[in-house]
Chain A
Amino acid sequence: GENVEQHPSTLSVQEGDSAVIKCTYSDSASNYFPWYKQELGKRPQLIIDIRSNVGEKKDQRIAVTLNKTAKHFSLHITETQPEDSAVYFCAASSPGYALNFGKGTSLLVTP
């Protein structure tokens, strides 16, 4: 099955700086790569996703890049704000199969 590796496990940045979280996946058939944000005690919520026919996608301060050859994808958050503090999970799935998640990155944005 799909194996998703995520790093770093923790990330601390100053408000206004950028944050980058990286993930690798094992199944070359995977074609869907979402990122979820989970605040303490809450449900995971989708913040951005990318499909394998696209190399990069941006939504305001958030962007995701995908390198299918290297089987890795990254989340970029620019101009970080304290409310960006949360655990971020990457995930991957291949057609017809369920999402498999990485271990999560705990992001702390300090004022």
Chain B
Amino acid sequence: EPEVTQTPSHQVTQMGQEVILRCVPISNHLYFYWYRQILGQKVEFLVSFYNNEISEKSEIFDDQFSVERPDGSNFTLKIRSTKLEDSAMYFCASSETRGDGELFFGEGSRLTVL
């Protein structure tokens, strides 16, 4: 069964460093998302991406964040200058349709900022 894959599974970084999280969505999906989950809290929407551009973003997704689809398969989330409060599990997801179809989540990338 096809699935969303994410790398790395865990990254530890120093405050102020840049981090790139990588995702390979399911191949026939057109909509891509990043969500984050601070430990013990809810899954929070960050950004959605379609047709090589951001289609929606939340208040969390400020200028420190960016997304890119550098080639036909990868979808990346970059955090330019990490803060302690960026420590969370970051989930990539993809879907065939937008807004009314199943989201398929990756296993997540745990980011720890020291």
Q: How far is the CA of A3 from the CA of B102 in the complex (A)?
A: 19
Which one of B18-26, B37-45, B66-74, B75-83 is at the A interface?
B37-45
For A97, give the chain B residue with the smallest CB separation: B99
Interface contact A93-B99, CB-CB below 8 Å: yes
State the Cβ distance, A108 to closest chain B Cβ, in Å.
15
A98 at interface, CB cutoff 8 A:
yes
Interface residues of B, dominant DSSP? loop
A22 at interface, CB cutoff 8 A:
no
Interface contact B45-A99, CB-CB below 8 Å: yes
User: In the complex, what residues of A have CB within 8 A of residue B98's CB?
Assistant: 96-98
How many residues from A make CB contacts under 8 Å with B?
25
User: In the complex, what residues of A have CB within 8 A of residue B58's CB?
Assistant: 1
Point out residues on B near A: beta carbons under 8 Å. Answer: 33, 35, 41-45, 48, 56, 58, 91, 98-103, 105-108
17 further contact pairs, Cβ within 8 A, besides A32-B100, A101-B42, A102-B42 = A32-B99, A42-B107, A43-B108, A44-B91, A49-B102, A51-B100, A89-B43, A93-B99, A96-B99, A98-B33, A98-B56, A98-B98, A99-B103, A100-B45, A101-B44, A104-B41, A104-B42
